[in-house]
Amino acid sequence: MKIAIVGAGISGLSAAHFILKKNPDCEITIFERNDRVGGNIR
Instruction: Report pLDDT for 31.
Output: 97
Q: How distant, in Å, are the alpha carbons of 8, 10, 33 from that of 16?
A: 9, 10, 17
Report pTM. 0.83
22, 3 in Cβ contact below 8 A? no
What pLDDT digit, counting tens, does each position of 2-42 carry? 999 999 999 999 999 999 999 999 999 999 999 888 887 76
Instruction: Report pLDDT for 42.
Output: 60
